[in-house]
Amino acid sequence: MTIAFRSTRGEAPELSFSRAALRGLAPDGGLYVPTRFPDAEAIQAGSLAEVAERLLAPFFAGDELEPELGAICRDALDFPVPLRSLDAHTRLLELFHGPTAAFKDVGARFLAACFARLDRPLTILVATSGDTGGAIASAFHGRDGIEVGILFPEEGVSARQRAQLTCWDGNVHAFAVRGVFDDCQRMVKAAFADEAWRAAKNLTSANSINIGRLLPQAAYYAHAALAHGRRPSFVIPSGNVGNACAALWARAMGLPIERIVMTANANRPVPDFLADGDWQPRPSVATLANAMDVGNPSNMERVRDLYPEIAALREVVEASSTDDATIRRRIVEARERWGVVLCPHTATAADWRLDRPDGEAVLVATAHPAKFESVVEPLIGESLPVPPQLAELLGRPDRSTTIDAELAALQRALG
Ligand SMILES: *Cc1c(COP(=O)(O)O)cnc(C)c1O
């Protein structure tokens, strides 16, 4: 029986993987989830691309991309995801060896490799306040028949983030919007609401709720669980909770995973929900771990779809929250204890572990610390070498166009 993708809200037709990825959000406003999880207990260890191909094959059975799955995995997942020992029972899963030095490269590259093999021409529009836009730009750059528009707030991103958004030529266009992130999001929404332009451009989104970004992330959990061998818990710095949801899906497929720990910064809707059973989205607050500044994590809809009963959820999932002062302290402590330099996001996972040293744990390192040098370097008192792939991007010229915060300006600029 093939596996389709259904909406969490149950009011939209089921689609194949490819169609659900092209669609983005389901028409009833829900998120796509698999209709069932295949049993992957017997899956063989191998390279990340090999494990991904084995794990994802049942989801591609009958899909138009089925014959391409191996090529997609090799194309997208061509960088290492090392599992480094911190102590006898603690490891670090480094997901930051891709082109933009954060785990979002995995999902973005997989989605780009899929779209490059589907109906084109396509136009991808994304609003970004940081990491996502760089990963999307890098993943789609040079893909035939796909134009990409990245909208970011002119004043709202760090110098290194800006460089990763604006260094592209050819099919990737970066727009510095005279406004804030919410203006960028409003413009993208308005573009999708303009039916004529949407159809003419074949507009598609690539935001973090896209199933084509989420599902492949289950592959590195499978890869790491198999490599680790002793049924670890994964400790995952979480914002929109997509990364942790992918880990829950890997576990649902029978991989040897004990528990999932979602570590938050000072934005605490998830830990509060697990503590008192009351789901209370709220406005986000700014923290040092800014890619996790999410007050209403959209992927909780998928997590709650998997575990509708809070008691069942609590058996598998744990959550914690770490404030900025503790993030700083744990970066220093991780350096002293384990000899590693962590980014502020990963420091929230270290915070959980340093208080609970029992059992096997894999801490998930979501970004390279050199992306957050202004926070990390003063704490450790030395400068961090920039990974070569990142240094290469940072050395390129800024090719962005500055536009007013209105749809017409975007439409003129994109032609
Ligand atoms: C996006 C991001 C996160 C949060 O991941 P979610 O899937 O949104 O929970 C954590 N760390 C870094 C570095 C990120 O870029």
- DSSP of 293-319, one letter per residue? --SS-TTHHHHHHH--SHHHHHHHEEE
Mutating to test ligand 1, I would choose from 92, 93, 103, 300 the residue with most ligand atoms within 8 A of its C-beta, which is 103
pLDDT, averaged across the chain = 95
Cβ of 129 closer than 6 Å to ligand 1, yes or no, is no
Residue 77, SS3 per DSSP: coil
Distance from the alpha carbon of residue 409 to the mean position of ligand 1, in angstroms: 30
pLDDT value of residue 156: 78
8 Å CB contact between 281 and 295? yes
DSSP state of 386: P
8 Å CB contact between 210 and 184? no
Q: Which residues have a Cβ under 8 Å from the Cβ of 266 and sit 6 or more positions away?
A: 285, 287, 321, 322, 323, 324
Instruction: Give me 51's structure tokens.
Output: 């494990």
pLDDT in tens, 91-113: 999 999 999 999 999 999 999 99
- Token pair 């779209």 is at which residue? 115
Residue 135, SS3 per DSSP: helix
- What is the C-alpha separation between 349 and 103, in angstroms, rounded? 15
Q: Which of 181-185, 230-234, 236-240, 273-277 shows the lowest mean pLDDT across its residues?
A: 181-185
pLDDT in tens, 36-86: 999 999 999 999 999 999 999 999 999 999 999 999 999 999 999 999 999
Residue 154, SS3 per DSSP: coil
- What is the C-alpha separation between 268 and 367, in angstroms, rounded? 21
CA nearest 297: which of 269, 318, 275? 269
**What angle (nearest 5°) sits at the alpha carbon of residue 317, between those of residues 324 and 238?**
35
Q: Which residues have a Cβ under 8 Å from the Cβ of 230 and sit 6 or more positions away?
A: 256, 360
DSSP letters, 218-258, are HHHHHHHHHHH-S-PEEEEE-SSSHHHHHHHHHHHTT-S--
Neighbours of 172 (CB within 10 A): 25
CA nearest 247: which of 340, 352, 361, 356? 361
pLDDT value of residue 246: 98
- Token pair 């980014």 is at which residue? 343
Distance from the alpha carbon of residue 97 to the mean position of ligand 1, in angstroms: 15
Cβ of 104 closer than 6 Å to ligand 1, yes or no, is yes
**CA atoms lying within 13 Å on the CB side of residue 155:** 5
Calculate the CA 204 to chain-centre distance: 18
Give me the percent of the chain exceeding a pLDDT of 70: 100
Q: Which residue is closest in CA terms to ligand 1's atom 15?
A: 291
Q: Which of the four pLDDT bands, split at 50, 70 and 90, describes residue 200?
A: very high
pLDDT value of residue 219: 98
- What is the C-alpha separation between 203 and 95, in angstroms, rounded? 30
Cβ of 248 closer than 6 Å to ligand 1, yes or no, is no
Mean pLDDT (whole number) for 174-191: 92
Q: Which of the four pLDDT bands, split at 50, 70 and 90, describes residue 160?
A: confident
Residues 269-279, buried b or exposed e (16+ Cβ, 10 A)?
A: bbbbbbeeeee
Cβ of 345 closer than 6 Å to ligand 1, yes or no, is yes
Q: Which of the four pLDDT bands, split at 50, 70 and 90, describes residue 1?
A: low
Question: Identity (one letter) of the amino acid at 240?
Answer: N
Distance from the alpha carbon of residue 134 to the mean position of ligand 1, in angstroms: 13
Residue 397 pLDDT > 80: yes
> Dmax of the chain from CA atoms?
59
Question: Which atom of ligand 1 is nearest the CA belonging to 346?
Answer: 11
Distance from the alpha carbon of residue 292 to the mean position of ligand 1, in angstroms: 6
pLDDT in tens, 335-391: 999 999 999 999 999 999 999 999 999 999 999 999 999 999 999 999 999 999 889
Question: Identity (one letter) of the amino acid at 156?
Answer: G
pLDDT value of residue 157: 84
Q: Which residue did the predictor score with more confidence, 389 or 139?
A: 139
Cβ of 367 closer than 6 Å to ligand 1, yes or no, is yes
Whole-Å CA distances, 386 to 160, 218, 339, 366, 377: 11, 28, 18, 16, 12
Instruction: Give me 343's structure tokens.
Output: 């980014």
Cβ of 109 closer than 6 Å to ligand 1, yes or no, is no
pLDDT in tens, 241-297: 999 999 999 999 999 999 999 999 999 999 999 999 999 999 889 999 999 999 999
Against a cut of 0.85, is the pTM above it? yes
Question: Which atom of ligand 1 is nearest the CA belonging to 243?
Answer: 7
Mutating to test ligand 1, I would choose from 94, 320, 342, 366 the residue with most ligand atoms within 8 A of its C-beta, which is 366
Cβ of 102 closer than 6 Å to ligand 1, yes or no, is yes
Residues 99-108, buried b or exposed e (16+ Cβ, 10 A)?
A: bbbbbbbbbb
Residue 320, SS3 per DSSP: strand
DSSP state of 192: H
Question: Which atom of ligand 1 is nearest the CA belonging to 104?
Answer: 15
Cβ of 242 closer than 6 Å to ligand 1, yes or no, is yes
pLDDT value of residue 195: 92
Instruction: Give me 208's structure tokens.
Output: 């973090």
8 Å CB contact between 74 and 49? yes
Residue 71, SS3 per DSSP: helix
